[in-house]
Structures are given as C-alpha cells and as structure tokens.
Structure 1
Amino acid sequence: MMEVFVISVIFASVLIVPFLLKTFFPYVWMDVVYFGDLMSIVVKFVARRRRKPLFSVLDRFLEQTAAHPDKHFIVFENDRHSFSDADKRSNKIANALQSHPGYEAGDTVALFTGNEPAFMFTWLALAKLGSPVALLNHNIRTKSLLHCFNCCKAKVLVAAAELKEAVEDVLPSLMDQGVTVLLMTKHCDTPGIEGFSDKVDEASDAPLPRSLRSHMTFKSPAVYIYTSGTTGLPKAAVINQNRLLAALVVLSSNGVTSNDVIYVNLPLYHTAGFVIGFIGSIETGSTIILKRKFSASQFWDDCRKYNVTVVQYIGEVMRYLCSTPKRENDRDHKVRLAIGNGIRAEIWREFVRRFGNIQIREFYASTEGNVGFVNYTGKVGAIGRVNFLHRKIFPYTLVKYDTERDEPIRDANGLCVEVPKGETGLLVSKITDIAPFVGYAQNEEQTERKRLRNVLKKGDLYFNTWKGENVATTEVSDILTISECLKEANVYGVQVPGHEGRIGMAAVTVKKDAQFDGSKIYNHVVSYLPSYARPRFIRIQNAVEVTGTFKQMKVKLVEESFDPGRIQDPLYILDDTVKGYIPLTAQVYSSIMSGNSKL
C-alpha cells in the first residue's frame, strides 16, 4: 500500500511541478535553455582565447573558407561571391596594398565606402595585414569627414569611386598630413589620389603570411566604429580583437546556422550591419544578401527572390515596413527570424499580424558599451531579459539620475542611489576584465564621461550608459558658435507631425554688430555636420535663457516648438534647394503641420 502511495505522490509531482513552474515561473525553461547557450558561448570563447597563435575573426573566416570554399558568402545585386572568391579577392587587395610604398603592414587604414562587396573584401584584406580599420560613414563630408579620419590616426584612406568629390574636398588636409589616398577605380586624374583597382586586378591572390599580424594581441584595435546620438560630431569607439572575437557569436547564439540566408541592408559602417550582419555570418557560415541601403518597398521582394530566412532591423525599420501598402503576398516568404533593436510594442504586434509568425529577437547593446541583454523569451515590448547567472557575470544596476544637473543622485556617503524595482533609472554596468570598457580613440574626455566611479561602494567603476542629449547638443552648439555671426546657441529637439523622434532646432543669439546670414550659416553647418545633425529650425533670441546652475533652458523652447503664431522671435528653416536658412512663415508652418512639406 505504501509503495502505491509513494508512486502516486511521485507521479502527481511529475505532473504538478511543471504546471507550477509554468504558472509561477513562466520563463524558467527558457532561462534554462539560455543558460545552456550562455555556457556554450563562454566555453567556446575561452577555448578560442587559449589558442596559439592568437585566434581572430579572420581565422574563423579562413576556417569557413577551408570547410565550404564554394558556398555563396556574399550575394550582391547580380553578383555571387563564394567564400573562396572572398578569400582570393581579399588576398589580391592585401598584396596590392602591401607593395604600395605609402603603406606598411599594421598601419591604421580608414575605409570610406558604402555597402558593396569591396567593403568586406577590403576589411578582410586589412585583417590579413594586421591593420586596424576605421569604418567611416560614407554620408559625412568636409569637416566631419576630417574629424572622423583624424580620430584614428590613419595612414591610408581607401575610398569608393563614387566618393571622389567628398575626398577631394578634404584632400589638401590629407596631403598636408602625408596620407596615402587610394580610390577604388582604375585611373584617377586628381593629383594626390591614386587609382587602386587596376593594381588589385594585377596583384597575386597568394595567401598572406601569418607573420604580418604576429604583432597583434587581444588588446590590439581591430576596428573603429563611430558612434553618436542624433546630433554632434561622432566619436570613434575602439573595438579591440577581444571584443570582436566575442561578437562572433551574436548570430549563432540566436539560433542562426549555416543554412540561413541573412538580409543585410543596414550600413556596414554601423555596428548592427558590420558586427551582427557581416561578422556574425563569418561565424555561422551563412549566406549574406547585401543591399546598398534599406528600401521598404523592395524589402519583401528581395526576401522572396533570395529565399531570405533572417533579417535585421534597427530603430524604425519595422514601422516603415508596416507602413507600406498591404499586399496579398505579405506572408509569402521564408523569413523566420528578425534580430535587432528599437521596435515598439505596437509595431511588434502589427508586424507579426501582417507578415506572419516571425520570431523577434530584440536586444539591448551599444557599440562601446560593456553590457547587453537579449529578449530570448519573445515578450512583446521588452528589450531584454536577465537571469541570476547573467547578472553575476555582468553586474549592473539602475540608479537615480538628475537630468537637470546631468548627473547621478548621490547619498550622504557620496554613493549612487539604486532605484526601487519597477522605477526608471540610469543603467550602469560594472567595468571588469570580463566586461571591459575600452573607450574612444583620441578622446579621453568623452571616455572619462562614460566612466562612473563610486557607484555602490568607494573605488568601484561602472560604465555610464547615459547618451546625454546635453552632450550631443552641446557639440552642435559649439559648432554653431564658431560661425562668423552667432554668439550663443541652445540646441534641442522638437516634434514634427509625420516624423519619428525629434527634429533638431537651435535658439541662437547674434554677435554684436553682426547680422544673421542664412546662406553663410547653411554653408557652415554643411561643412561641419552630417545631414542628420544639422538643425532644421533656427530661432533668433536676444539672450539664451539659463537655469540657476547655468544650464541652458530647453523645456519651454521645446514646448513652443517652431510655431510662428506663438513665437515673436524671428524663425528660420533650412532649405536645401536654395542652400540657406530662409524665414519660416505661417504658410510654410501650415504646410509642414499638414504633412504637405516633408523635412
């Protein structure tokens, strides 16, 4: 009888325990699976770290090439390149560069090109030569371009043929610095710029000796990726060999395999396109469908044409897709996974309803940051989930923050104050050997701003995730005030119907005995700022208002926006057609508010 009772209890427990776990701990099994994945990643990473000689992302590419030489690696428009093709082409680029008198193996090289196979081939070539690579945004020009180039102290600039004019704009400065400028074209008549494609075509495709990169350590810079908010001059985040090796597993840890086809339409100079799309595919051995740029209207047609199974997104990409006209074949595709960040909950639901049961893997991370979270449970609206183990390996907390003073709130002992569960706070993550923060190239001031000391105890060190609109807008303010006619500038964001996020606006004062010149200010901001950072609206004030602690006041300015009916001050709007800032009239305002005029 006792045996029957014991068996009954065991049987009942077997049935009840899973039910109780699912009821009170609904994600426990997902946590267990994620824990297993995390352990597998750590073991693989540690094993690679121990390999001699140093094992890098390039070595993983060479492994894939040896294992699957004829498999398609990059598909671009009508061209298909196998792993072997990519290996040989990168060898030719590396051999051509190595024989060039203006370059020595290990020199930092700036890569200035859009999304095309040559970008990937050139990066692989430079990895074979042991050279760090600065990934320049191909949209920047003049002063911004020079700023980004100078951040990494590059000796060579390799640029796409279509960016010749942009290079010519900064050529005098480059020549003064003795920079070697190579254009991806066969011939170039501009003195100081050399055609490079013919030299590559004529070069040998023989493998490069490993000795060329024998100087590298895990602390050696691998790439410089430029990061900023929506405004301000970019900062060059240093991604070292160790961090890039760790980044290899981003796709594989989300279930991507060599059988997948990945649609990469995000910029390769950006972390998402480069690290997740390109580097991630090197780890998995997946095929990359490379697109010059994102197109909402062509997105699903491309996915169908190339049998895409995995897509990437950032920011409002998903909303743009949901905004396209509905079609009968919206669900006719093979996409099973979308990985990225920045999708809003309502867009998440709408996307899945319309385009089918696609798994969304939303994550939180930053280019230079030392912590990340993955929403592996698929909970709509969440940017990530952590379990006990994750928090032990990557300690983090949320602390109270004073946005007016732009600093954490501290207690009587000078330590930060943790926020109660469920409340908003500043995310800070502990800087450790496992979770390091390398910082920004040639910018110790910005690097130090990201270090937060004495957080939970005296002497500890955390990474400050605060993007700080004040930091970014201050940079734009500084640029405005070095113009001929402006004395002060307060930069902020205003909401415009039909536009996501905020549009840049500046309240400025004019120097004594000077006049506001819309054409000169336009030329000035175009010279110094990328298009997305240029203030669209300018408000002329007699004085810039400040708080008691001398912080520029923004709340009232943001509230008044750019409405000429509420504002007595002169208002101007940037107009690219006339290359100037022109008066913002009531008629122009009405056209913007009605959606007839797009910014």
Structure 2
Amino acid sequence: MEIYFISFILASIFILPIALKTFSPYVWMDFLYFGDLLRILVRFVARRRRRPFFFVLDRFLEQTAAHPDKPFVVFEKESYTYTYTDTRSNKIANALQTLPDYKAGDTVALFMGNEPAFVFTWLALAKLGSPVALLNHNIRTKSLLHCFNCCKAKVLIAASELKEAVEDVLPSLMEQGVTVLLMAKHCDTPGIEAFTDKVDEASDTSLPRSLRSHITFNSPAVYIYTSGTTGLPKAAVVNQNRLLTALAILSSNGVLPSDIIYVNLPLYHTAGFLIGFIGSIETGSTIILKRKFSASQFWDDCRKYNVTVVQYIGEVMRYLCSTPKRDNDKDHKVRLAIGNGVRAEVWREFLNRFGNIHVREFYASTEGNVGFVNYVGKIGAIGRVNFLHRNLFPYTLVKYDTERDEPIRDANGLCVEALKGETGLLVSKITDIAPFVGYAQNEEQTERKRLRNVLKKGDLYFNTGDLMRIDKDNFIYFQDRVGDTFRWKGENVATTEVSDILTISDCLEEANVYGVQVPGHEGRIGMAAVTVKKGLQFDGSKLYKHVASYLPSYARPRFIRIQNAVEVTGTFKQMKMKLVEESFDTGRIQDPLYILDDSVKSYTPLTAQVHSSIITGNLKL
C-alpha cells in the first residue's frame, strides 16, 4: 500500500505540471505575477510608513549615494552622472531661491522639450517642495495660456528655443505678475529673465529637508495635461502618493540597474515622465534621452548606446516597421519593449523583423485608477484578468450605447454588465486604494469622469472612456474610445477643443470634428464637417494659418468637409456616426472636400487621385 501511495505521489509530481500547462497554460505566469504584485505592495506600504515621509526624490538621493559616478542621463554627446544631476539640480534650486517673487512650495510651470535641463529642473523643484506643471512644448497662444492658468503657477521656466512662444503670451503673463525665466545666458526681451547664468553662479549645496516639510502624500507633485472628452487640455493632478507608486513600473516589468533605457517619448507626457524618468529612478538605470522620436535613427541609437530597454506607443512600433529593411535589423541588445497601443499585426511584424524582444504591453491613463499589464505576452492583449487584481482594484465592463454616448441601464437605473466576449465600457471603482484625484481647477470635468449607481445604488466608479473586451481565457483587449476624443500620433485629441478653435476663425460658422481611420495608420486622423459663414467664401490659406497658430500639428484637422448645415440630434448634439462612416471618401461624398497641405500651407481640394494615393499608402499622413 505504501509503495502504491509513493508511486501516486511521484506520478502526481510529474503529471500535475503537464496537466496544468494543458488545461491552465498561464497558471505559472499568474503565480509569478501575483508574487510581483505582492512584492510591490509590501515595498510600497513600507515606504508609506517611513518617517519623515519618503518620496520619489528620496529614492533619487539613495541612488546617488549608492552609485554617484554612474551615468544617469546621456544626451547626444554628453553624459551626466547621478552626482552631477544632483549638484546641478541643487544649483537650479538655489538660484530659484534668490528670486524675489518665488518661495519654496510655489507651483512652477515647466515649458521644455526633452533635454537634461528638464530632468535637472524637475528635481530642483522637488527639492523645493514645488508642484510642477509639465506643459506640452507644442502648444501655443490660447492653449498655452489655458494650460498655464490651470495650475495657478507663479513661475514659468522655458527652454531657450521656446522664447517666441513665450513672447506670444507674455503680456498676459506680465499682467498676472508671473516670473518668466528662460534657460539661456542672455535675453533682451523685457519681462523675460535669462536664468542659466544665475544657475551657473549659484551654490551647489544641498537643500534642507525643511523646505519640503509641508508636503504630504496627498500633495500635488506634477500636473500632466490630457485631452479628455471635451474642451481644452485638462491638468490631471498626480499627487505624491501616485508618483511613489509609479516608481514600481519599470522594476515590476523586469528592468534592472544594469539596463540602459531609451527614452524618446515626450517627458511632458505620462509615458516619458512616469515610466521612462521616474521608473528609472527606482531601478537606478541609465537613461538615453532623445530630443524626439526618429524612426530612421532609432536602431542606430540603440546600437550606439547599447540600449537594452525601449519605450513605445503604438505609432512608434508602426513607424519602425515602416522603415526600409536592413541586414542588421536584429543586430542590437534590446531585450524589452514596454508601452501601450500596439496593434496585433504590428506586434507580430515587429518581432519577426527585429528579433526576440519581450513586449510588455500595458494599459493605464494619466488620471485613471486602474491599469493592466500583459505579463503573459499574448499578442494583441493589453492585460489579463485575475482574481487578486480584481479584488484589489474592483472594475467591470458595462454595456454601452455608442449612439446615445452613455452606459445602458436596467429598469432599476443600474448599469448592465457586459458578458464575457462582449464589448463594454471599462469602469473602475473609486476606493482609498484606487482613488481618482481629478483635474486642477476643473470640477465639472472631474465630475464627468465619475459614474454613479453602477452595480448598486450609491456606488462610485471612474469612467475610463475606453471600450474593452474580455475573452474566454481572461485576456482583456482594447477596442475603442468613446465620446468626443480620438487618438492620433500617440496624442489624445479633444474634438470640442478643435471645434472651438475652428469656429473662432474668420470664415467658419459651425464645425463638427471627429476622427476617421486611415489604412496603414494607427488611431484616427482629424476631420471636420463645417459650414461657412453667410456671404463668405472658404479660404484654405487663412484657415491653415489659423489652425497652425492655435493647435499642435497632431490636432489640426487633416480633412475639411463643407456642408450647408451641420446635422444635429433632437437634443442638439452633433451627429458623427454617419460622418465617421463616410470618412473622406470622394466616391461617396458630394460635399466639397479639402486636405491640409503643409507644403503650400493651405487646405487644398481633395481629389479622387489624392484619395486613392492615401488609401493605397503612396501618400503618408
């Protein structure tokens, strides 16, 4: 009997792994993920209990003490160690303290592209306990002023190459008494102070912790701007607690201190700032900072700097796959790509062409309270549903009426949960563990993202605005965005913001803005159905000049459709479904169509030949 029992145990030891792999092929990876999740939670709780309070800055200071001479940021031909980064940020902080109209803790707006000074300045402001508004360096005039005013900043620090953009809004800034600093040694514009010379002359002594003694975990750390469902960009508040959790993003995905991370996404965005920059502080890795993404230089840079980890958004992957093939496509040391928004077919092509790179696709949003990681590597999925994650961060998919642009509710007024395999709106319960902080100076938009009475009366959820689907194996897939936002060139475009800009032009009366799909392109490109003011003619050159002065390139409508009247519903909501379906098809549309042409700086007539070139891929947008 004992022999049979031992034989049974031995057989089970051999058979059980095979059975699990056959019937539950992902169970081991689930266990590993649970282990990672628990390790992150334990570390986070331990840091939350430390006194005095432990923030991201303290982790940077730990890393500096641990390996002072290790390169932290490499930019073009220069390398900056952890020690240099620390001392340079001290000089910036000490220079700021000499300014009469600034005091430690004041909110500061940073108007700067990807360069080492961005990193140094943010760390300096962290040492002074100042929240930082990360302004998109592509915005101008009305949008720039709006974003600046959202966070009630008292100081604007701008890169030297953005001097003209600052001068455009300088009268308004001076009227508000804002201190405007330019990262340059000289500036002859009254109202703008050259700041680099002051930094060079400042002391590099460390800043006392008392300067940031007022900070708690609920204090705002940074404001990151996002285009939501309506209006101008909104300042999502990222508090110190959320920033502390962001430390774990790279380390939880297998990034090590020995890794070299290629950061070519904008530092003013969540991906570049939270993942690339803040994530690297936790791991103590080296950042290869690129001014902007370049498909033609991407792999050459990876080879030159021995890059092991890259960031991406869906467009990055597609652009890389669209470059001419080379014999050395697989000659690199990149082992991990982390990001979001890559289509399944592009994912496959990327792996086939560039080799065995582990792709870690994830889902998250700047202001959201739920996220997923595709730790299994299932092509096309954004993550995997599991018991532990769902209990820590309760979420569900609810049925959504795309025509009425609202969740479907039952006779009791509660949302109807989507069945497995059905597409539904992702909503996440707002709890102490998964809070939703909202937007600065914008309670109306904050409230629009709150969804009440979801599964029971009185409950409160965050509305992600994203449609998802969960398959029979519990993988979750992104389907589409809802409402008045579309995504192009990796950026969210708020249709009502673009509509507002169009209708303040000289010749347009109304504008209905929407995103349309283009074969071979990720996301949706901007199109507007417009009406022309009575007695006026459509002027393509004037409209081009107008949108170029108000909107960044990715938000400018590429196609214009002239209509006699903009169609609306019975409740006066602009109708988009039919317009989106007809797209910019010259064969289906009788209305005059125009296309934005940067070469002549005008909107020019869209001909059937041009339409054909776009569809066949001969003309890239």
Q: Output the CA distance in 2 between the equivalents of 1:578 and 1:322.
A: 29
Identity of aligned residues (%): 84
Q: In the alignment, what sits opposite 1:536? A: 558
1:428-507 map, 5 Å: 428-466=427-465, 467-470=481-484, 472-507=494-529
- Pick closer, same or farther for the CA change 1:56–1:545 going to 2, 3 Å: same
The number of residue pairs the alignment matches comes to: 598
SS in 1 for 2:484: helix
Amino acid at match of 1:537: F
User: Quick check: 1:230–1:533 contact (8 Å CA) kept in 2?
Assistant: no
SS in 2 for 1:239: strand
Range 411-420 or range 26-35, more displaced:
26-35
1:133 Cα deviation from its structure 2 partner? 0.5
User: Quick check: 1:186–1:196 contact (8 Å CA) kept in 2?
Assistant: yes
RMSD: 1.8
1:125-144 map, 5 Å: 125-144=124-143
- Pick closer, same or farther for the CA change 1:486–1:123 going to 2, 3 Å: same
> Structure 1 stretches of 5 or more lacking a match?
none
Amino acid at match of 2:374: N
2:579 aligned with 1:557: yes
For residues 124-177 of structure 1, give each alpha carbon's deviation from its aligned partner in whole angstroms, at most 9, with x where no partner exists. Answer: 000000001111111111111111111111111101111111111111111111
User: Quick check: 1:261–1:287 contact (8 Å CA) kept in 2?
Assistant: yes
Range 571-580 or range 83-92, more displaced:
571-580
**TM-score, normalization by structure 1:** 0.96
Q: Output the CA distance in 1 between the equivalents of 2:597 and 2:174.
A: 33
1:316 Cα deviation from its structure 2 partner? 1.7
1:229 Cα deviation from its structure 2 partner? 6.0
Q: In the alignment, what sits opposite 1:238? A: 237
User: Quick check: 1:143–1:527 contact (8 Å CA) kept in 2?
Assistant: no
1:579 Cα deviation from its structure 2 partner? 3.7
Q: In the alignment, what sits opposite 1:523? A: 545
1:380 Cα deviation from its structure 2 partner? 1.5
Amino acid at match of 1:561: S
1:598 Cα deviation from its structure 2 partner? 4.2
Amino acid at match of 1:412: A
Amino acid at match of 2:53: L
1:314 Cα deviation from its structure 2 partner? 0.7
Q: Output the CA distance in 1 between the equivalents of 2:80 and 2:557.
A: 42
> Structure 2 stretches of 5 or more lacking a match?
466-480, 486-493
Q: In the alignment, what sits opposite 1:580? A: 602
For residues 410-458 of structure 1, give each alpha carbon's deviation from its aligned partner in whole angstroms, at most 9, with x where no partner exists. Answer: 0011000001111100000000000000111111111111100000001
SS in 2 for 1:527: helix
- Pick closer, same or farther for the CA change 1:444–1:230 going to 2, 3 Å: closer
- Pick closer, same or farther for the CA change 1:578–1:170 going to 2, 3 Å: farther
Q: Output the CA distance in 2 between the equivalents of 1:460 and 1:563.
A: 45
1:81 Cα deviation from its structure 2 partner? 0.7
**TM-score, normalization by structure 2:** 0.93
Q: Output the CA distance in 2 between the equivalents of 1:496 and 1:256.
A: 35
Q: Output the CA distance in 2 between the equivalents of 1:46 and 1:463.
A: 24
SS in 2 for 1:488: strand
SS in 1 for 2:252: helix
Q: Output the CA distance in 2 between the equivalents of 1:36 and 1:390.
A: 12
SS in 2 for 1:574: strand
Amino acid at match of 2:565: A
User: Quick check: 1:233–1:529 contact (8 Å CA) kept in 2?
Assistant: no
1:117-128 map, 5 Å: 117-128=116-127
- Pick closer, same or farther for the CA change 1:520–1:331 going to 2, 3 Å: closer
User: Quick check: 2:114–2:290 contact (8 Å CA) kept in 1?
Assistant: yes
1:62 Cα deviation from its structure 2 partner? 0.4
1:589 Cα deviation from its structure 2 partner? 4.3
Amino acid at match of 2:67: H
Q: In the alignment, what sits opposite 2:169? A: 170
1:500 Cα deviation from its structure 2 partner? 3.3
SS in 1 for 2:457: coil
- Pick closer, same or farther for the CA change 1:296–1:231 going to 2, 3 Å: farther
Amino acid at match of 1:147: H
2:352 aligned with 1:349: no
Q: Output the CA distance in 2 between the equivalents of 1:265 and 1:340.
A: 12
Q: In the alignment, what sits opposite 1:330? A: 329
Q: Output the CA distance in 2 between the equivalents of 1:380 and 1:578.
A: 41
1:390-405 map, 5 Å: 390-405=389-404
1:85-484 map, 5 Å: 85-228=84-227, 233-466=232-465, 467-470=481-484, 472-484=494-506
Q: Output the CA distance in 1 between the equivalents of 2:29 and 2:108.
A: 43
Amino acid at match of 2:504: I
1:511 Cα deviation from its structure 2 partner? 3.0
SS in 2 for 1:440: coil
Q: Output the CA distance in 2 between the equivalents of 1:170 and 1:238.
A: 24
For residues 572-592 of structure 1, give each alpha carbon's deviation from its aligned partner in whole angstroms, at most 9, with x where no partner exists. Answer: 333334443344445554555
